[in-house]
Amino acid sequence: MTEYNLNQITKLYGGYWRYDFLDFHYLINEYFPPPILINILKKELPQLVNHYPSTQKVITNLLARWKKDEYFCAENLIISNGSSELIRIINSIITKITIPIPTFNEYTVLPKNKMHLFPMSERDHFQLDIEALIRAIKKSKSEYTVINNPNNPVGNLTNKKDIEKILRTGTIAIIDEAFIDYAPHYSVEDLVPKYQNLIVIKSLTKSFGVAGLRIGYLLTTNEYIKKMVRAALPIWNVNSLAERFIELFPKFKKEYQQAIQKTIREREFLFHALQNIDYLEPFPSQANFIFCKSKKDGRKIMKYLFNQHKILIKGGLSQQTLQSNFYLRLGVKTRKDNLKLIAALKNISKGYLI
């Protein structure tokens, strides 16, 4: 593929099954769903595509079966067409928010007067300083803040005690746990009954391997947020195939945990391999990707990998005040695919980068 095609591909935001390349850019679980679950959906597909899905009340009750905790109930849950649907609605509700960056780009799609950016320091591998964040929230008179946990694109974690420090200030804290199943002990879902100013957002794309089904959920006891989000949703915002997946999942929890552990093992393999590439500094990660600082131009690396090896990665960091071409984010895939990526990156050490 030519450079033009790379530019075209990066503007598509999906539909990559039509193209012949390895995708290390979007982040999914390569080991889930298992074949038996896929086969059930295949068999039922004619019926599912010919029927309307259920409404929120039915689907949130199905989702509530995933966990036995009392707070994980239909009353506190809102099901969504991916977490991006929820983020867009919450962004419309927000008055003023302090946003630690780098973060997931969707959270920064706000008017400047609503958004106060809090840049984290690369010296600390972009680790969040909670006390400094609290001071920034107060100084900017923000009512909201958002924390990706683990952070996207960096992969590091914020511990529960630090998140509780924010909650105790009364700030409405949006905690995005898209990757939390790779570090479940850091989840703050169990704090939801204790703090009405806690909003947990969860995408199923990153860890469940169902990016095409577009499933996410919000968990909170905040009545105002629930009312506003529900009012903004259409009556059918989740399709029948996604609904059936939600219904079936509890039967496959064991397979899911096995898939998570396989991904973690591959992440550690990839991390150690990247440490042996002279121009890269991989950051420790608790997600299914590895963020790297590069001595070489990340966007040039991205072009080389795509044009010469049919591999797509995320090159550069484009967020406000942190713009730099000298970063990479690499998704974790299977051992076979990870080895292809490593070999291609090693070629750059040999001088093949144009």
Domain ranges within the chain, ordered by starting residue: 3-33+254-349, 52-251
pLDDT of 240 reads 98
For position 310, what pLDDT does the model report?
A: 96
CA angle 128, 215, 187 (to 5 degrees): 35
Report helix angle 253-275 to 335-349, nearest 10.
20
Q: At what angle do helices 3-10 and 298-309 cross, to 10 degrees?
A: 110
Rounded to whole angstroms, the Cα distance separating 91 from 185 reads: 28
Give CA separation, 246 vs 62, 79, 208, 240, in Å: 7, 10, 11, 10
Distances (CA, A) of 130 to 100, 135, 137, 155, 319: 10, 9, 10, 17, 21
Do the beta carbons of residue 217 and residue 70 sit within 8 Å?
A: no
Span 52-251 CATH architecture: 3-Layer(aba) Sandwich (3.40)
Within 13 Å of residue 161, how many CA atoms lie on the same side as its CB?
A: 0
pLDDT of 165: 98
List per-residue pLDDT tens for the chain, 354 residues long.
444 589 889 889 999 998 999 999 999 999 999 999 999 999 999 999 999 999 999 999 999 999 999 999 999 999 999 999 999 999 999 999 999 999 999 999 999 999 999 999 988 889 999 999 999 999 999 999 999 999 999 999 999 999 999 999 999 999 999 999 999 999 999 999 999 999 999 999 889 999 999 999 999 999 999 999 999 999 999 999 999 999 999 999 999 999 999 999 999 999 999 999 999 999 999 999 999 999 999 999 999 999 999 999 999 887 766 778 899 999 999 999 999 999 999 999 877 665
Architecture of the CATH domain 3-33+254-349: Alpha-Beta Complex (3.90)
> Shortest CA distance to 27 belongs to which of 196, 203, 206?
206
